Amino acid sequence: MRQLYNGAITLWDAEGTENWWVTVYAAHFLLEAKKAGFDVDNSLLETMLGYLANRLKKRETITYYYNRDQNKKIAPKEVAYSLYVLALANRNNIPSMNYYKSNQQLLALDSRYLLSAAYAIAGDKRSFSSLLPASFSGEQSVAQTGGSFYSDVRDEAIALNALIDVDPGNAQLPVMAKHVSDKLKSRDWLSTQERAFSFLALGKLARSANRSDVTGEIKVNGKTIAKVDAGQWRGDMNALKGTNVEISTKGNGRLYYSWEAEGISVSGTYKEEDNYLKVRRRFYDRYGTPLMNNVFKQNDLIIVGITLEKTYSGTVENVVLTDLIPAGFEIENPRTKEIPGMDWIKDGFDPISLDVRDDRIHFFVDAYTNKQTYYYAVRAVSPGQFKMGPVSADAMYNGEYHSYHGAGIIRVGQ
């Protein structure tokens, strides 16, 4: 690569075409090198920064491909990256930052992290907090071979690196670091961009951890059950049973903990959300006509369709679909193909396994297509009004992949 008269960097030595991403990428790593104590030619860096500032005067959009087969118009990923790098160089471009703050629909997920980090560097903590996404989830870019070279690994790694710099105690860091680390270990091939940003971010975390001498102690109802000095400690409900769990630390550094709980609340409230997965329930009569108002007659045969969709580009393995049965229903047959007259079901999938219980049915599946539907039959047996729990989808080995939807009331008349 070489630098042109306007400060831009080319991708190839003999090429005369400016490359926006390569330019901001080069400026970023020169700033990182300068921070690490290396000598950097300031005139070289300043012309790059000048190019970035001028390029931001344009209001451009690109087609962004994400979640396998979805796309939308966004600002180029170079925009937020340029604003972040300019902030690192004490060249805050507040007008452009405010424009994209007011038009967040133009920003990809990683760009929102970078813009929020730019505000943090500029000293605007309120804008940082309001812009920072709650988690790096729900959007996965489709890897590109040109442009800004984005991919799911690169995007999360660059967001992780920015967040480490501006908020080293943020609770998202260990989760994001695990994502990046797991992908580095599982992928057979990684691009230069993926490696560079992953190693930069994980290296900063490793350096911070190496300086730590923190130890921890876990107490349940005042009694010490574990001491943590290195590595990890895992406990289940038997180890942690009690009403008062206390974690205390000594020394310098950070310890991270996570807590998982599951069950159905006494009040029936739950958080309805789709995260990478989307599950929906529909009722049909035995002839395939949709039943829309959740009102049934005693002894009706009802066909339940559970549809699973995914916004993740690859296969999501080991997903359990759980449908909680209201008390007025009883499961008639978990395999509708065995029931005469079910020829109208053309899109039914077979689960890998199923588990039928008195109050629920579990389908164990792999989400390998964009949409999969599973059917089973229930009978309305008891007249009255009954609460109906949500239908849920959970990836058994990654709790971030989940969907909960559709609790309500059913009525069974005589």
Q: Does residue 402 sit in the same domain as residue 288?
A: yes
User: Which pLDDT value is given to residue 210?
Assistant: 73
Q: Does residue 79 sit in the same domain as residue 195?
A: yes
| pLDDT at residue 344 greater than cutoff 70 | yes
Q: Does residue 146 sit in the same domain as residue 225?
A: no
Q: Are 302 and 378 in contact (CB under 8 A)?
A: yes
Q: Does residue 241 sit in the same domain as residue 293?
A: no
Q: Residues of 140-172 as b/e, b for ≥16 C-beta within 10 angstroms?
A: bbbbbeeebbbbbbbbbbbbbbbbbbbbeeeeb
State the average pLDDT for the chain: 90
* Number of domains, the chain: 3
Q: Are 251 and 217 in contact (CB under 8 A)?
A: no
Q: Does residue 282 sit in the same domain as residue 351?
A: yes
376: containing domain:
273-413
Q: Does residue 72 sit in the same domain as residue 115?
A: yes
Q: Does residue 230 sit in the same domain as residue 317?
A: no
The sheet with strand 295-297 has its strands ordered as: 295-297, 408-413, 384-388
Averaged pLDDT, 194-222: 86
Is 69 a domain residue?
A: yes
Q: Phi, psi (5° rounding) for residue 263?
A: 145, -175
Who wins on pLDDT, 116 or 239? Answer: 116
The model's pLDDT over 72-85, given as tens digits with 9 standing for 90+, comes to 999 999 999 999 99
d(CA 279, CA 362): 13
Q: Does residue 61 sit in the same domain as residue 204?
A: yes
Could you say which of 178, 210, 242 is where a domain stops? Answer: 210
Q: Are 288 and 406 in contact (CB under 8 A)?
A: no
Averaged pLDDT, 373-392: 95
Quick one: 286 exposed, middle or buried, by C-beta within 10 A (0-12, 13-18, 19+)?
Answer: middle
Long-range contact list for 149-152, CB < 8 A, 24+ apart? Answer: 149/21, 149/191, 149/193, 150/77, 150/108, 150/110, 151/191, 151/193, 151/194, 152/183, 152/313
Q: Are 227 and 216 in contact (CB under 8 A)?
A: yes
d(CA 282, CA 375): 10
Q: Does residue 224 sit in the same domain as residue 194?
A: no
Q: Does residue 190 sit in the same domain as residue 286?
A: no
How many residues in the chain? 414
Averaged pLDDT, 350-378: 93
Which CATH number fits the domain that encloses residue 369? 2.60.40.740
How is residue 259 written in tokens?
Answer: 């807590």
Q: Does residue 70 sit in the same domain as residue 185?
A: yes
Is 19 a domain residue?
A: no
| pLDDT at residue 195 greater than cutoff 70 | yes
User: Which pLDDT value is given to residue 255?
Assistant: 72
The model's pLDDT over 23-40, given as tens digits with 9 standing for 90+, comes to 999 999 999 999 989 999
User: Which pLDDT value is given to residue 231?
Assistant: 60
Is 37 a domain residue?
A: no
Q: Are 394 and 320 in contact (CB under 8 A)?
A: yes
Q: Phi, psi (5° rounding) for residue 110?
A: -65, -30
Q: Does residue 242 sit in the same domain as residue 172?
A: no
| pLDDT at residue 173 greater than cutoff 90 | yes
